[in-house]
Chain A
C-alpha cells in the first residue's frame, strides 16, 4: 500500500472536514422509541380494525334473521380472526441481524423483500378468499330469505345484485393495490441485485 496516489487519497480522505454531528444517548433512545412506536401503532391499527369487524358481524350473528345471514356473519367473523392471525404471522418482520457482514445483511434483506412480495402476490388466497363464503352466504340470505319491507321484490333483488357487484369491485381494487405494491417490492429486489451483483 505504498503507492503515492493511494496514500495521498487516503490522506485527503482522512483529513476531510466533517460536520461534527452530535448524537446524544437521548437522541438515540428517542429515535429508537419512535421507530418502535410506529411498529406498535401499525399493529394496533390492524387489531382495532379486526376487533371492529368481529364486533359488528358478531352482532349480526345474533341480530340478523334467517340462518343464511347468521351463518354468513359467523363465517365473516371466522375469516377476520384467520386474517388477523395471518397479518400477525406474515407481517412480522424478522429482526435485522447485528454485526453480520454486509453480504449476509443484503442476503437477509433480499429474503425479507421476497417474503413480503410473495405475501402480497398471494393476498387473494389468504386475505380475500376467506371472506368469500361468508359474504356470499349473507348476500344469498338477503336474496332468498330476507327482503326490505315495502320494496318490490325485483327492485330488492336488483339492489342485492348491485351490492354484490360493489363488493366484488372492492375485492378487485384490494387485489390490484396489493399486486401494485408487490411490483414495487420486486423493483426493490432488482435494485438490491444491482447493488450487490459481482
Chain B
C-alpha cells in the first residue's frame, strides 16, 4: 500500500486547482487564503494516514477540504457582522446585471464568489461542488445529503445562476 506521503502527493497533484478555487471561495483576504490553503493541505496530508478507500479519493479529498475551509470560516466569521443565508433566501433584487451592460468575466466571477460567501456552509458546499461540475450523485455522497435534497438545491442554484447571469458575461 502507498505511504501517507505518496497518497497525499498524488491527491494534491490531482486536486490542487480545485482546492485553490475552494480556498478562494471561502476566503477573500490573500494572506488568510494562503493560510487556509496550507491548512487544507495539512488536513489532507493528516487524513491520508487513515484513508481506507471506503469512499472514492475524490469524495474524501472534497470532504476533508470543505471541512477545513468551513472550520476556517467558523473562526473568521465571528469578526464579521453579515449573516449568512440559505439558497432560498439569496436576495437577487439588487444584483441582476443591467441588460445593456454585459458582465465581464472578472465581474461575473466576483459575483459568484460573493454569492458563495453569503451562503450558509452546507449550501455553499453544494454550490461549489456544482460549479466544479460534479454530478448530483457525487454531491450527495460528499455532503451526505439525500438525492432529493441535492436535486432541490441544484434546481435552486440553476435558477439563481440564471437570474444573476442571464444577460451578462457568464454567457460568453
| Distance (whole angstroms) from the CB of B129 to the closest CB of chain A | 11
Contact between B109 and A13, CB atoms less than 8 A apart: yes
What are the residues of chain A within 8 A of B138 when measuring CB–CB? Answer: none
Q: CB of A18 within 8 A of chain B?
A: yes
Contacts of B99 in A (CB 8 A): none
- A99–B60 touching, CB < 8 Å: yes
- Are A28 and B21 in touch, CB under 8 angstroms? no
> Chain A's interface: helix, strand, loop or mixed, by majority?
helix
Residues 101 to 143 of chain B near chain A (Cβ within 8 Å): 105, 108-109, 112, 120-122, 125, 130-133, 135, 142-143
Q: Across the interface, do A12 and B112 meet the contact criterion of CB distance under 8 Å?
A: yes
In the complex, the answer to whether B105 meets A12 with C-beta atoms within 8 Å is yes
Report how far A101 CA is from B60 CA in the complex, Å: 9
- Contacting B at CB under 8 A, from A1-54, are 1, 3-6, 8-10, 12-14, 16, 18-21, 23, 25, 27-28, 31-32, 35
- Given known A-B contacts A102-B122, A109-B74, A195-B120, A9 and B108 have beta carbons under 8 A apart: yes
How many of chain A's residues touch chain B, expressed as a range? 35 or more
A-facing residues in B121-172 (Cβ within 8 Å) = 121-122, 125, 130-133, 135, 142-144, 154, 157-158, 161-162, 164-166, 169-172
Q: Does B55 contact A (CB under 8 A)?
A: yes
B171 CB contact (under 8 Å) in A8, A13, A98 = A8
**A89 CB–B CB distance under 8 Å:** no
Question: B65 to chain A: closest CB distance in Å?
Answer: 10
Given contacts A191-B78, A194-B83, 5 further A-B contacts (CB under 8 A): A5-B158, A18-B20, A100-B67, A106-B70, A106-B74
Question: Can you give 5 contacting A-B residue pairs, CB < 8 Å?
Answer: A1-B154, A8-B165, A21-B34, A109-B74, A195-B84
